[in-house]
Structure 1
Amino acid sequence: MPTDATTQTSGMGPPGRRDVILQLLRASSEPRSIASVADELGVHPNTVRFHIDALARAGRVEQALGNSPGRGRPPILFRASRRMDPTGPTNYRLLASILTEYVAGRPDAAGIAAQLGRSTSAALMPSSAQGRAPSKTRAITELVELLAELGFEPEPADGPRTREIRLRHCPFQKLAEQHSEVICSVHLGLMQGALSAMRAPVTVDRLDPFVEPDLCVARLGRAPSLDRASS
Structure 2
Amino acid sequence: MDQPTDASIQAVAALDEPTRRRLYDHVVAESAPISRDDAASALGLPRTTAAFHLDRLVDEGLLTVTHERRTGRTGPGAGRPAKLYQRSDREIGVSLPERQYDVAGQLLAAAMEDAEASGGSPRKALDRRARQYGESVGRTHPGKPLAEVLQAHGFEPRRNGSAIELANCPFKALAKNHPDLVCTMTLHLLGGLLDGLGGTGLQAVLEPRPAHCCVRLLPDSQNAQERTS
TM-score bucket (shorter structure): 0.5 to 0.7
Gaps of 5+ in 1: 9-14, 131-140, 227-231
The SS at the match of 1:155 is strand
Alignment correspondent of 2:129: 116
Distance 1:198 1:78 in 2: 43
Contact in 2 for aligned 1:64/1:79 (Cα 8 Å): yes
Post-superposition offset of 1:17: 4.1
Query: Aligned match of 1:74 in 76, 79, 86?
Result: 79
The SS at the match of 1:86 is coil
Alignment correspondent of 2:16: none
Post-superposition offset of 1:123: 1.8
The residue type equivalent to 1:63 in the other structure is H
Query: Aligned match of 2:138 in 117, 121, 125?
Result: 125
Q: Residue 17 and residue 116 in structure 1: after superposition, are their counterparts in 2 closer, same or farther (change >3 A)? A: closer
% identical equivalent positions: 21
Distance 2:186 2:103 in 1: 18
Post-superposition offset of 1:172: 1.3
Post-superposition offset of 1:166: 2.1
Contact in 1 for aligned 2:131/2:193 (Cα 8 Å): yes
Post-superposition offset of 1:177: 0.9
Gaps of 5+ in 2: 13-20, 225-229
**Superposition RMSD in Å:** 4.8
Post-superposition offset of 1:33: 7.1
Q: How high is the TM-score relative to the length of structure 1?
A: 0.56
Alignment correspondent of 1:155: 158
Alignment correspondent of 1:48: 50
Equivalence map 1:51-200=2 (5 Å): 51-54=53-56, 56-57=58-59, 58-65=62-69, 74-81=79-86, 85-87=89-91, 93=101, 96=104, 100=108, 108=121, 111-126=124-139, 129=142, 142-156=145-159, 158=161, 162=162, 164-198=163-197, 200=199
Contact in 2 for aligned 1:196/1:203 (Cα 8 Å): no
Contact in 1 for aligned 2:165/2:212 (Cα 8 Å): no
Deviations 1:52-92 (A, max 9, x none): 434554443423245589986814424344x7542567997
Q: How high is the TM-score relative to the length of structure 2?
A: 0.56
Report the count of equivalent residues.
193
Q: Residue 20 and residue 165 in structure 1: after superposition, are their counterparts in 2 closer, same or farther (change >3 A)? A: closer
The SS at the match of 2:84 is strand
Matched, 1:19 2:25: yes
